[in-house]
Amino acid sequence: MADNALKQNLLDLSLADLKAFFEEHGEKAFRAVQIVKWVYQRGVIDFDQMTDLSKNLREWLKLNAICRLPAIAVDQASADGTHKWLLQLDDGNCIETVFIPENGRGTLCISSQVGCILNCSFCSTARQGFNRNLTVAEVIGQLWIAAHALGQYADGADRKVTNVVMMGMGEPLLNYNNVLDAMKLMLEDNAFGLSKRRITLSTAGVIPGMDKLSHDLGVSLAVSLHACNDTLRNELVPLNKKYPIEALMQACQRYVDNGLHRKITFEYVMLAGVNDRDSDARDLVKLLKDIPSKVNLIPFNPFPNSNYETSSPQRIKQFVQILHDSGVITLTRKTRGDDIDAACGQLAGKVKDKTMRSIKMLKAAGA
């Protein structure tokens, strides 16, 4: 098996699958833990450097397995410290990953799909169309690459990934199994050792996936809401036509009721004259009154031909005041990395669009 394409990529395997891989080949299951420690705790992907493995095992691994990561195509740093990587995949597609440093924490925004299968009208990623789901290796590989690039695997590293948000390109709950296995590696004590509260999955409201995630893993949940009535949300988030707001709120309540989390984060992009009026704020208060929650207001980040404008600072301030006066915990997300197009809703990558959505949009715009 000299051809790398025929070798098993160990980064595609959860710890349980890795144990099964070794057992199927006559090795002890504990070898999987050794591999996981080398790859994810120490950042080592060269079998020759895994010195607690026997020479025979290392030689066998070199013939039958590989630790293959996406390639860094572009590495950009923002003036505010935000870092963005354009990662090239084996099939020529590219995805984007963003690191956001803050006081005492470092948050990595990870992609789950090549493009996005959804078509939210205010999102630049949606304009790229959709190609495919990412593999486990392509999801967990983003965390490995960021940790390596930030010096996390070196002594004295001053920047570290402390939090992960599945908020990059794609809808993570529509790539459920691969995202789940990747998050399990993030949580695994022998790998990255993050806590469930430090991993947040953001969804546009895929209700079956929300219910399944609640029982399978129960990481922190963020819901891209953006509107409080079905008419407007159907326009902004077309998935709402399948899973309308009433059903979505019931699913959110079920997620909280599982006892793993005290609150759900609701993301709300602020679009001038569309969803930012005082009445919209009052509707949001009413919608969330029975659900333990906090609201994350996101100033819209413009992109060409988006047809939306950002709410003014004064309008956002008034919107926040109404929520605060009603007891709703509200944060306004600070725009980060907009000089390198790394802000929320701006991730684009390079997608071979199977949906033809990008071409249709260009034609509709008269381009």
pLDDT for 181-193, tens place per residue?
Answer: 999 999 999 999 9
76 and 60 in one domain?
no
77 and 214 in one domain?
yes
Q: Would you state the pLDDT for residue 81?
A: 84
217 and 101 in one domain?
yes
- State which residues form the domain around 207: 71-364
Cβ neighbourhood burial of 317 (10 Å; 0-12, 13-18, 19+): exposed
Chosen domain end from 66, 87, 120: 66
Question: Cβ(177)–Cβ(118) under 8 Å?
Answer: no
**DSSP letter (8 states) at residue 37:** I
Mean pLDDT, the chain, integer: 89
Q: Would you state the pLDDT for residue 241?
A: 97
Number of domains in the chain: 2
Residue in the structure block whose two tokens are 């630790």: 67
pLDDT tier at 356 (50, 70, 90 boundaries)?
Answer: low
Question: Cβ(353)–Cβ(130) under 8 Å?
Answer: yes
Task: Identify the CATH number of the domain in which residue 173 sits.
Answer: 3.20.20.70
pLDDT tier at 258 (50, 70, 90 boundaries)?
Answer: confident
pLDDT tier at 228 (50, 70, 90 boundaries)?
Answer: very high
Pick the more confident residue, 334 or 118: 118
Largest CA distance in the chain: 69
89 and 10 in one domain?
no
pLDDT tier at 156 (50, 70, 90 boundaries)?
Answer: low
Task: Identify the CATH number of the domain in which residue 56 sits.
Answer: 1.10.150.530
Q: Would you state the pLDDT for residue 345?
A: 46
Of 243, 216, 232, nearest to 268 by C-alpha is: 232
Percentage of residues of the chain with pLDDT beyond 90: 74
Helix pair 313-325, 278-287: axis angle to 10 deg = 40
Residue 87 has pLDDT above 80, yes or no: yes
With H, G, I as helix, E, B as strand and everything else as coil, classify residue 254. Answer: helix
47 and 77 in one domain?
no
156 and 46 in one domain?
no
- Please give the positions annotated as active site: 96, 344
pLDDT tier at 336 (50, 70, 90 boundaries)?
Answer: low
CA–CA separation, 71 vs 67, rounded Å? Answer: 12
Residue 322 has pLDDT above 70, yes or no: yes
**Averaged over 273-288, what is the pLDDT?**
98
CA–CA separation, 365 vs 270, rounded Å? Answer: 23
**Averaged over 91-106, what is the pLDDT?**
91
Pick the more confident residue, 302 or 261: 302
62 and 159 in one domain?
no
Q: Would you state the pLDDT for residue 342?
A: 46
Q: Would you state the pLDDT for residue 79?
A: 83
Q: Dihedral angle at the C-alpha atoms of 129, 131, 132, 133, nearest 10 degrees? A: -40
185 and 49 in one domain?
no
Pick the more confident residue, 351 or 321: 321
Predicted TM-score (pTM) of the model is 0.91
151 and 51 in one domain?
no
Of 246, 202, 209, nearest to 224 by C-alpha is: 202
327 and 230 in one domain?
yes
Spatial CB neighbours of 189, under 8 Å, sequence gap ≥ 6 = none
351 and 234 in one domain?
yes
Backbone angles phi, psi at 243, to 5 degrees: -125, 85
CA–CA separation, 163 vs 186, rounded Å? Answer: 10
Spatial CB neighbours of 219, under 8 Å, sequence gap ≥ 6 = 183, 187, 196, 199, 200, 201, 213
Q: Would you state the pLDDT for residue 209?
A: 98
Q: Would you state the pLDDT for residue 6?
A: 86
- Per-residue pLDDT reduced to its tens digit, 282-321: 999 999 999 999 999 999 988 777 889 999 999 999 999 9
169 and 293 in one domain?
yes
Chosen domain end from 48, 66, 84: 66
Pick the more confident residue, 173 or 358: 173
Q: Would you state the pLDDT for residue 302?
A: 83
First to last CA, the chain: 49
pLDDT tier at 214 (50, 70, 90 boundaries)?
Answer: very high
Question: Cβ(233)–Cβ(245) under 8 Å?
Answer: yes
Q: By 3-state DSSP, what share of the chain in percent is helix, strand and coil, each rounded to 5?
A: 40, 20, 40
Question: Cβ(250)–Cβ(256) under 8 Å?
Answer: no
Q: Would you state the pLDDT for residue 306?
A: 81
